Amino acid sequence: MNKIYHLSTCSTCQRIIGEVGDVLGFELIDIKEQSIAAADLDMAAEQLGSYESVFSKRAMKYRSMGLNEMDLTEDDYRRYILEEYTFLKRPLFIIDGRAYAGNSKKLVASIKEALSA
């Protein structure tokens, strides 16, 4: 099943979801209301190369918790993402078993391409 993990209050998430076009049939999951499934996180990390690649270092809690001054392991990144929704890089699209995380223009272009295939 195709999924989009997003934050409904995030204007960037909403803009990207609107920009990619037809998301009919996608399961839209607001990460503030429902945490990412561990299996989806594990799959995304495997595809994208690491849990760190799915971790948002822009989250306000990253600095306030002092995580920026720690040497985090892959297990740490995974645990923090599962415990606190703000650490998930978003939006996270899962399209036909393929993961896309973040909001760069190149990534949005890749999502559009995957949806048109």
Q: How confident is the model at residue 38 (pLDDT cuts 50, 70, 90)?
A: very high
Residue 35 has pLDDT above 80, yes or no: yes
Q: 117 to each of 5, 75, 76, 95, 102, how far by Cα in Å? A: 21, 35, 36, 11, 20
Both tokens of residue 69?
Answer: 């001054």
**Structural domain for 10, as ranges:** 3-116
Query: What was the pLDDT predicted at 45?
Result: 98
Residue 52 has pLDDT above 80, yes or no: yes
Q: How confident is the model at residue 109 (pLDDT cuts 50, 70, 90)?
A: very high
CATH label of the domain that carries residue 54:
3.40.30.10
How far is 98 from 68, CA to CA, in rounded Å?
A: 29
Q: Strands across the sheet with 27-30, in order?
A: 27-30, 3-6, 92-95, 98-101
- Which pTM does this prediction carry? 0.92
Domains contained in the chain, number: 1
